[in-house]
Chain A
Amino acid sequence: MRAELKNFQHEQYYFRLRLGFSAFVVIVLFSLLAVRFFYLQIKQHDHYQTLAENNRISLVPIVPNRGLIIDKNGVVLAHNFFVYTLEITPSKIINLESTIAELRKLVEISALDLKRYNKLREESRNFESVPIRTHLNDFEAAKFAVNHYQFPGVEIKSRLFRHYPLGKLGSHVVGYLGRINDKDLAGLEKSESLSNYKGSDHVGKSGIEQFYEPYLHGTTGFQQVEIDADGRAVRVLSSTLPVPGNNIILSIDSKMQEIAETAFGEHRGALVAIDPKTGAVLAYVSQPTFDPNLFVDGIDVENWKALNDSLDKPLINRPIRGIYPPGSTFKPFVAMAGLENGKRLPPFSIQDSGYFTLANSTHRYRDWKPSGHGMVDMQRAITISCDTFFYGLALELGIEKLTDFVRHFGFGGKSGIDMQGEIGGLLPTPEWKMRRYKQPWYQGETVITGIGQGYTLVTPMQLAQATAILANDGVAMKPRLVTQIQQAISGKTQLIAAEVQDKIVLNPENIAIVRRGMMDVTLPGGTAASVGANAAYAIAAKTGTAQVIGIKQNEKYNASSINERHRDHALFIAYAPADNPKIALAVIVENGGHGGSAGGPIARKVMDYYLLGKLPEANATPLDLKAEPSGAIGASVIGGAATKPGAIPEEELHD
């Protein structure tokens, strides 16, 4: 019993020792926890506080409504509308393929939709919802909504889509919206407006949409939203409303635009009409056009190929990016150069026997009329487009004086129109030639520059602007497509004032000589007499023809189409009424032949409408401007000459 007791005491002592050790371990480990809590909750508190806030609060951008693009009469050229989209958030989907297969039983999803979805998915982050179908109709939306519960991670959303109600009409003016790509992102970052594009998928890619992007886009609003772990908004903490983009009001009259485009028929070409007193662009045609609606939702490969590979080059913005030799339309400006330099002042005249030769050469520079025009003074030289007269004048002026002078009319430089991508054309000088070809300038090259041939290249925009400057007695107004910027909410408009770009000091008598010469062009005996027939106003004009310089032919085109593509470009410039010009324009019809017969009628229709409100006879029925676009792009391949006639690389074109 005693031993047992002793044994018990000994055992208890031993047990208590172990118990004490355990208590020690308990204290140590609990202290460790306390230290850990101290570390997390005091030392690292700010860090975890931030993480918790980041978890909790999400900044949701509210994309502003993009401004409208409206023509001068209030016809809407670009607007937005809500479209139901079916969207999938990849991170919330377990098996994408089976989900899509199930969705297909409810809503039609084409191979194209799928392709676009996959492309967009690569571009977007995993937790962003990506549309797999757009433009769901009410029935489809309702059908999905009923079955929504079967599709976690799939939602119906409504997104704003850009729409161009007039379709192909004036598409080069309006331009189009496209998805923001890496290049756009870089540009936005550079202009420090990237943060304003959070939530925006699209950006203007061409035309007004591109140039006036900062006005059209508006200011993105933000909502501070408390979200739960699934990313669902629980409540809105604060919000800053977006400021919708401004409406852009154009100086273009879409009816006139349609008349001009229609007048081109099947021809390729360009037309720019300007109000010479204000610089407002009244019509801006680039034929053929395209349907900008194709680009909004991401253009598909087939349509893109059709547009991009078409020999008609519908995507080229011809008025500012098409370059052509000016041909005889250059002559009024050469004439001004001569007169202002004291050359060929009345009553000076020449005896034209049909050709011109340089002093110590036998090479004949031929007039277009082999027999010659007989006695020709400055005014008549313009009217009948006498080449011989201008050969001599150019030579006597010299290339420097000639180019220096016509440069004031905007040749060889950008017009400054509110559109991106303008090309400056080319006014050749001996220095340029030396730089470009390592060759000296030859006198013969000066001679042919006098009739707008040789190296000289102009854009339709330049030609129209030069004509407007001439019509406005040497005062150059800055050309622009936009006249007003209108705030979307208040409706307040900001007028864009006409801006004088340059004033060329010209002798009114000299201007009068050139004007009379140009007026006679549209009268019997002139090169475009038919254009002026029965006109209720006097038209000052000049015709031109530019040779299409050889271009390598693709062998698969047939002979007749090659011929068509090889025809001369027809050029025509005019302003009217000649005594009080309200409109100045330049027309280029590619491979159209003679300027008077191909370009003249187009110009006449436009001027008749603008000055008299007269609709072309073929179009006597009122134009339905609200008509929906036909959609399909006429991709008929006709033949193979490029718009760009010369072999001069673009970087030489003062681009």
Chain B
Amino acid sequence: MINKLFQHLAKHIDSFLMTCLLFTLLIGLFVLYSASGQNYSRLFGQFINIIVALSFMWAAANIAPNQLERVALPLYVFGVLLLICVALFGSVSHGARRWLSLGFTQIQPSEIMRIAMPMMLAWYFSKREGKPAMADFAVGGLLLLVPVALIMKQPDLGTAILISASGFYILFLAGLSWKFLVGGVIAFAASTPILWSMLHDYQRRRIEILLDPTQDPLGAGYHTIQAIIAVGSGGIAGKGWLKGTQAQLDFLPERSTDFIFAVFGEEFGLLGNLLLLLLFSLIIMRGLVIASQAPSTFSRLLAGSITLTFFTYGFVNMGMVSGILPVVGVPLPLISYGGTSMVMLCIGFGILMSIQTHKKLVAT
């Protein structure tokens, strides 16, 4: 009886992906416990976040891809409207206008765009069967740019980058021409000196510090420097759980959110880092396999974008913590503390599972 119920509940759950996710989430809870200074309420909060996120994942996994296809356009329009609302009368916190107050709670519409954007573009290109024309990519680019510009204006660089990436992956997977890609890169590289000369000194200074944090060790560079010290001092096997001095003695800022990877790297060392890279790689590879097997244009574009966006999350976060990428506010997926980001991430994985499991149903 119970067995049957379980089977029913797990019908649309991809067991491989689920195993990797649960393992990663478990590691995340351990790291968070350490990073929060052994704060049980924080740990419990994150546990609730995970339960809620997994529920959303289950729900998303049970919605058939063609259902999703139908809501893609309305969701996108709804998201853009909310973003416009934010720009007009959003509430300001920490110098950024990101939230919409609904009286009883606040929502962050840019989070909705994380799902709505890839869905919208995947839907758009699925409607253009056959080889998409240049014009289609132009329209796709426009659909991408409008919300990204609104989010950049908030300003929320991290989210803007991730949403741009999720949209770009659709364009890329839909067959954006190599010539255009290479040409774009060359054009950007060529225009850099001109753009540079147009900047004010203080703007240049900001970019310089973004690229080389050691120029401002007590200001903007402090985070990166302390994070690198934490990771580097971890060594091969790390200092041990709860024993990272950088983490436990407050040297690491934002250590339960954006810089949680520094705590992980300090306490679990190179071996821990490689294990995490492995888990992430397994999740990504599974996602890519799901994408490659997906039956429809919409589903495979969406699956590919969700997977590569997850990769982007992880790479940007670990890169910034280990000092090879500038510091932008991107949390470490599945590990960093935070409810919204966790829910959006799991909805993405839910969609992946939905694509994988509903395909079989279609086939039979």
- Chain A interface (Cβ within 8 Å of chain B)? 4, 7, 11-12, 14-16, 18-19, 22-23, 26-27, 29-30, 32-34, 36-38, 40-42, 44-45, 47-49, 51-53, 55-56, 226-230, 234
CB neighbours of A33 from chain B (8 A): 273, 277, 315, 318-319, 322, 324
Among B54-62, B87-95, B137-145, B245-253, the one that faces the other chain is: B245-253
B273 touches A37 (CB 8 A): yes
B235 touches A41 (CB 8 A): yes
Known: A30-B315, A37-B265, A41-B232. A55 touches B273 (CB 8 A): no
B281 touches A38 (CB 8 A): no
CB neighbours of B250 from chain A (8 A): 228-230
Q: In the bound complex, what is the Cα–Cα distance between A42 and B231 (angstroms)? A: 10
**Size bin of chain B's contact surface:** 35 or more
User: Can you identify 22 A-B contacts, CB atoms within 8 angstroms?
Assistant: A11-B130, A15-B173, A22-B169, A22-B172, A26-B281, A26-B311, A33-B318, A34-B274, A34-B277, A37-B265, A41-B231, A41-B235, A41-B269, A42-B236, A45-B234, A48-B231, A49-B232, A52-B230, A52-B233, A55-B229, A55-B251, A229-B249
The closest CB in chain B to the CB of A27 belongs to B281
A15 touches B315 (CB 8 A): no
B322 touches A16 (CB 8 A): no
Known: A37-B265, A37-B274, A228-B250. A30 touches B281 (CB 8 A): yes
CB neighbours of B35 from chain A (8 A): none
18 more CB-based (< 8 A) A-B contacts, given A56-B249, A229-B251: A7-B129, A15-B291, A15-B304, A16-B292, A18-B175, A37-B270, A41-B265, A41-B270, A41-B273, A45-B233, A45-B235, A48-B229, A52-B229, A52-B245, A56-B245, A56-B246, A226-B249, A228-B251
B160 to chain A, nearest CB (A): 20
Q: In the bound complex, what is the Cα–Cα distance between A23 and B280 (angstroms)? A: 12
B322 to chain A, nearest CB (A): 5
B304 touches A22 (CB 8 A): yes
Please give me the 6 A-B residue pairs with the lowest Cβ-Cβ distance, nearest first. A48-B232, A52-B233, A229-B250, A40-B232, A41-B270, A228-B249
A40 touches B322 (CB 8 A): yes
| Binary flags per residue of B281-298, CB closer than 8 Å to A gives 1, else 0 | 100110010011000010
Known: A37-B273, A228-B249. A51 touches B292 (CB 8 A): no
Task: Tell me if B308 counts as interface (CB < 8 A to partner A).
Answer: yes
A46 to chain B, nearest CB (A): 9
CB neighbours of B129 from chain A (8 A): 4, 7
Known: A18-B172, A18-B175, A36-B322. A45 touches B280 (CB 8 A): no
CB neighbours of A29 from chain B (8 A): 311, 315
B259 to chain A, nearest CB (A): 13
Q: In the bound complex, what is the Cα–Cα distance between A36 and B232 (angstroms)? A: 10
CB neighbours of A16 from chain B (8 A): 292
Task: Tell me if B228 counts as interface (CB < 8 A to partner A).
Answer: yes
CB neighbours of B311 from chain A (8 A): 26, 29
Q: In the bound complex, what is the Cα–Cα distance between A44 and B130 (angstroms)? A: 52
- Chain B interface (Cβ within 8 Å of chain A)? 129-131, 169, 172-173, 175, 226, 228-236, 245-246, 249-251, 265, 269-270, 273-274, 277, 280-281, 284-285, 288, 291-292, 297, 300-301, 304, 308, 311, 315, 318-319, 322-324
The closest CB in chain B to the CB of A91 belongs to B218
CB neighbours of A32 from chain B (8 A): 324
A40 touches B228 (CB 8 A): yes
A55 touches B270 (CB 8 A): no
Q: In the bound complex, what is the Cα–Cα distance between A218 and B108 (angstroms)? A: 64
CB neighbours of A47 from chain B (8 A): 232
B228 touches A48 (CB 8 A): yes
CB neighbours of B249 from chain A (8 A): 55-56, 226-229, 234
CB neighbours of B130 from chain A (8 A): 7, 11
B363 to chain A, nearest CB (A): 15
Q: In the bound complex, what is the Cα–Cα distance between A617 and B200 (angstroms)? A: 87
CB neighbours of A40 from chain B (8 A): 228, 231-232, 322-323
CB neighbours of B228 from chain A (8 A): 40, 48
Q: In the bound complex, what is the Cα–Cα distance between A52 and B226 (angstroms)? A: 8
CB neighbours of A23 from chain B (8 A): 284-285, 288
CB neighbours of B229 from chain A (8 A): 48, 51-52, 55
The closest CB in chain B to the CB of A32 belongs to B324
CB neighbours of B175 from chain A (8 A): 14-15, 18
Known: A229-B250, A229-B251. A38 touches B270 (CB 8 A): yes
Q: In the bound complex, what is the Cα–Cα distance between A29 and B165 (angstroms)? A: 15
CB neighbours of A53 from chain B (8 A): 233, 245
A399 to chain B, nearest CB (A): 72
Q: In the bound complex, what is the Cα–Cα distance between A42 and B271 (angstroms)? A: 11
B257 to chain A, nearest CB (A): 17
B284 touches A26 (CB 8 A): yes
CB neighbours of B300 from chain A (8 A): 12, 15
A232 to chain B, nearest CB (A): 9
The closest CB in chain B to the CB of A35 belongs to B324
CB neighbours of B236 from chain A (8 A): 41-42, 45
A15 touches B235 (CB 8 A): no
Q: Which of A19, A27, A51, A234 has the most CB of B within 10 A?
A: A19
The closest CB in chain A to the CB of B324 belongs to A36
Known: A18-B173, A56-B249, A228-B250. A30 touches B234 (CB 8 A): no
A488 to chain B, nearest CB (A): 36
CB neighbours of B273 from chain A (8 A): 33-34, 37, 41
B321 to chain A, nearest CB (A): 10
Q: In the bound complex, what is the Cα–Cα distance between A9 and B215 (angstroms)? A: 53
Q: In the bound complex, what is the Cα–Cα distance between A279 and B52 (angstroms)? A: 92
A238 to chain B, nearest CB (A): 16
A22 to chain B, nearest CB (A): 6
Q: In the bound complex, what is the Cα–Cα distance between A228 and B129 (angstroms)? A: 60
A49 touches B315 (CB 8 A): no
Q: Which of A4, A34, A41, A226 has the most CB of B within 10 A?
A: A41
Q: In the bound complex, what is the Cα–Cα distance between A53 and B233 (angstroms)? A: 9
A503 to chain B, nearest CB (A): 67
CB neighbours of B226 from chain A (8 A): 55, 229
Known: A37-B270, A229-B251. A19 touches B292 (CB 8 A): yes
B315 touches A19 (CB 8 A): no
Q: In the bound complex, what is the Cα–Cα distance between A51 and B232 (angstroms)? A: 9
B294 to chain A, nearest CB (A): 9
A42 touches B245 (CB 8 A): no
A141 to chain B, nearest CB (A): 29
A11 touches B297 (CB 8 A): yes
Which of B230, B281, B288 is the one whose CB lies under 8 Å from A22?
B288
CB neighbours of A227 from chain B (8 A): 249
Q: Which of B233, B280, B301 has the most CB of A within 10 A?
A: B233
B163 to chain A, nearest CB (A): 18
Q: In the bound complex, what is the Cα–Cα distance between A33 and B322 (angstroms)? A: 8
Q: Which of A16, A18, A38, A52 has the most CB of B within 10 A?
A: A52
CB neighbours of A30 from chain B (8 A): 277, 280-281, 315
The closest CB in chain B to the CB of A10 belongs to B131
The closest CB in chain A to the CB of B232 belongs to A48
CB neighbours of A26 from chain B (8 A): 281, 284, 288, 308, 311
Q: In the bound complex, what is the Cα–Cα distance between A4 and B322 (angstroms)? A: 48
A32 to chain B, nearest CB (A): 7
CB neighbours of B285 from chain A (8 A): 23
CB neighbours of A44 from chain B (8 A): 232
CB neighbours of A42 from chain B (8 A): 235-236, 270
Q: In the bound complex, what is the Cα–Cα distance between A36 and B246 (angstroms)? A: 19
Q: In the bound complex, what is the Cα–Cα distance between A222 and B280 (angstroms)? A: 47
The closest CB in chain A to the CB of B311 belongs to A26
CB neighbours of A229 from chain B (8 A): 226, 249-251
A4 to chain B, nearest CB (A): 8
B288 touches A19 (CB 8 A): yes
Q: In the bound complex, what is the Cα–Cα distance between A19 and B281 (angstroms)? A: 14
